[in-house]
């Protein structure tokens, strides 16, 4: 029994404990805090498993941005329904055990149905590892995400876009824009932004640039940039505006459009769909995805159709 | 020798972070809690970064760990300043029941 195994066991137990705290708590705010902690421990577990791409994504997205999104949603919820939010979930519905049992049964059924599937031919991971040199990529995850499972990534981008549109549809009839945050003119805040924002941009562009060969890529870079966007929104440097602009819409669509192009364009040249288009094409697609991801997450946090820079 | 020093630093770092956490949970009001969190945790993080840099034993790793510490220091300085400022503006009282 090695020390590493002990650490892994402890991390696994902590993760399960945190997950229980997230779903069993009676206070929404407490659940949100535990969810952020859950995301961080999850990132550590991915790192222990050697899946650095996922660790980065989970730390930036799962713990950081989703936490910030849930916090801002909670704040709006408190404004709308102070009483319900304060003791939300205080009385468990009688349906809870039934729903829990049915969900558990569904998970068990799915698990058992997957058990007999022993060997899957042509798994993306194996393909990617076998053909990494031929593709000229250093990071098998990038090869899976953009070459062997490009359709999945396309659908992920569509899900993100749909989620944003859904949020717009639900949010707009109910809310006017929240009062814009007063721009913080404190010297400390100004110097924090002057230090942090350039560093975040540097890290994000680096993650994008090295994504083909090392852990990193569009999702990680996009969530880093969106974190900078959240910081700028919180300090009043970016202001939510009520009307979307064509530039915003274009940037929101850019990721989906670039992936569609990456997937379908080889057909025009007479190859099969998703034929490998080369490193440059991958980088361009990832840059477009990064812009869309950044903007989608920032706008979700702003709760507005667009943002503008404070002048 | 270096390994033992690294282990000692790591243990020291864990102690300070533990002390900071106890302080955050046990101290009576928001200002005291901020005091415990920022001071103890930043020192703890420094010791842990030093230990890891010694364990790694290369300049590049040490510099990166130093950068991580500086970033955490910056973020915790500004955020605790903002929290304290907000608390003072809202006239959140000090003391056991000041919440």
Over 50: is that where the pLDDT of B98 sits?
Answer: no
Question: Is there a contact between B82 and A195 if contact means CB atoms under 8 Å apart?
Answer: no
Encode burial over A108-140: b for 16+ CB neighbours within 10 A, e otherwise. eeeeeeeeeeeeeeeebeebbeeeeeebebebb
Distance from CA of B52 to the nearest CA of A (A): 16
Q: Per-residue pLDDT averaged across A279-299, rounded?
A: 89
Q: Between B29 and A177, whose confidence is greater?
A: B29
Q: What's the confidence (pLDDT) of residue A212?
A: 80
Over 50: is that where the pLDDT of A118 sits?
Answer: yes
Q: What's the confidence (pLDDT) of residue A92?
A: 65
Q: Per-residue pLDDT averaged across B15-33, rounded?
A: 90
Q: Between B11 and A188, whose confidence is greater?
A: B11
Q: What is the pLDDT of residues A45-77, one digit of tens each?
A: 999 998 888 899 889 888 889 999 999 888 888
Q: Between A122 and A62, whose confidence is greater?
A: A62
Q: What's the confidence (pLDDT) of residue A237?
A: 87
User: Which residues in chain A are closer than 8 Å to B81, comparing Cβ atoms?
Assistant: 186, 188
Model confidence band, residue A250 (pLDDT cutoffs 50, 70, 90) = very high
Distance from CA of B74 to the nearest CA of A (A): 7
**Identity of the residue in A184, A186, A196 whose CB atom sits nearest the CB atom of B74:** A196
Question: Is there a contact between B75 and A186 if contact means CB atoms under 8 Å apart?
Answer: no
A188 and B CB contact within 8 Å: yes
Model confidence band, residue B99 (pLDDT cutoffs 50, 70, 90) = very low
Q: Per-residue pLDDT averaged across A288-303, rounded?
A: 92
How far does CA A94 lie from the centroid of its chain? 34
User: Which residues in chain A are closer than 8 Å to B71, comparing Cβ atoms?
Assistant: 196, 199
Closest-CA residue in chain B for A186?
A: B82
Distance CA B70, CA B66 (A): 6
User: Which residues in chain A are closer than 8 Å to B74, comparing Cβ atoms?
Assistant: 192, 195-196
pTM of the model: 0.83
User: Which residues in chain B are closer than 8 Å to A196, comparing Cβ atoms?
Assistant: 71, 74-75
User: Which residues in chain A are closer than 8 Å to B75, comparing Cβ atoms?
Assistant: 192, 196
Q: What's the confidence (pLDDT) of residue A132?
A: 75
Q: How many CB pairs under 8 A join A and B?
A: 18
Distance CA A182, CA B42 (A): 30
Model confidence band, residue A168 (pLDDT cutoffs 50, 70, 90) = confident
User: Which residues in chain B are closer than 8 Å to A188, comparing Cβ atoms?
Assistant: 77-78, 81-82
Question: Is there a contact between A188 and B81 if contact means CB atoms under 8 Å apart?
Answer: yes
Model confidence band, residue A182 (pLDDT cutoffs 50, 70, 90) = low
Distance from CA of A230 to the nearest CA of B (A): 14
Q: Between B99 and B37, whose confidence is greater?
A: B37
């Amino acid at each position: 029994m090695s020390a590493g195994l002990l650490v892994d066991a402890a991390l696994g137990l902590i993760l399960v404990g945190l997950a229980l705290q997230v779903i069993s708590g009676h206070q929404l705010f407490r659940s949100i805090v535990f969810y952020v902690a859950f995301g961080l421990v999850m990132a550590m577990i991915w790192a222990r498993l050697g899946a650095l791409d996922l660790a980065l994504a989970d730390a930036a997205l799962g713990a950081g941005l989703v936490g910030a999104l849930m916090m801002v949603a909670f704040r709006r919820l408190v404004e709308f329904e102070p009483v319900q939010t304060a003791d939300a979930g205080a009385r468990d519905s009688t349906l809870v055990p039934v729903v829990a049992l049915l969900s558990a049964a569904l998970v068990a059924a799915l698990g058992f149905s997957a058990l007999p599937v022993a060997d899957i031919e042509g798994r993306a991971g194996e393909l990617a590892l076998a053909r990494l040199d031929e593709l000229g990529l250093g990071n098998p995850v990038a090869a899976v995400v953009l070459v062997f499972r490009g359709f999945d990534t396309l659908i992920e981008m569509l899900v993100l876009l749909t989620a944003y549109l859904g949020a717009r549809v639900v949010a707009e009839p109910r809310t006017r824009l929240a009062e814009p945050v007063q721009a913080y003119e404190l010297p400390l805040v100004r110097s924090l932004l002057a230090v942090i924002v350039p560093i975040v941009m540097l890290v994000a562009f680096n993650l994008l640039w090295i994504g083909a060969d090392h852990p990193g890529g569009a999702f990680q870079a996009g969530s880093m940039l969106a974190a900078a966007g959240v910081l700028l929104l919180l300090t009043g440097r970016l202001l939510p505006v009520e009307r979307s602009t064509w530039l915003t819409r274009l940037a929101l669509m850019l990721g989906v459009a670039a992936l569609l192009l990456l997937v379908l364009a080889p057909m025009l040249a007479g190859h099969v769909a998703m034929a490998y288009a080369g490193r440059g094409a991958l980088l361009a697609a990832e840059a477009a995805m990064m812009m869309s991801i950044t903007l989608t997450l920032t706008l979700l946090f702003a709760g507005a159709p667009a943002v503008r820079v404070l002048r | 020798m270096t390994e033992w020093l690294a282990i000692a630093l790591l243990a020291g770092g864990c102690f300070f972070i533990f002390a900071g956490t106890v302080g955050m949970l046990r101290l009576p009001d928001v200002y005291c809690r901020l005091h415990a969190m920022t001071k103890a945790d930043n020192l703890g993080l420094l010791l842990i970064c030093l230990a890891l840099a010694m364990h790694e034993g290369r300049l590049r790793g040490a510099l990166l760990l130093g950068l991580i510490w500086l970033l955490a220091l910056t973020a915790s300085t500004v955020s605790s300043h903002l929290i304290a400022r907000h608390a003072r503006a809202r006239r959140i009282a000090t003391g056991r029941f000041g919440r």
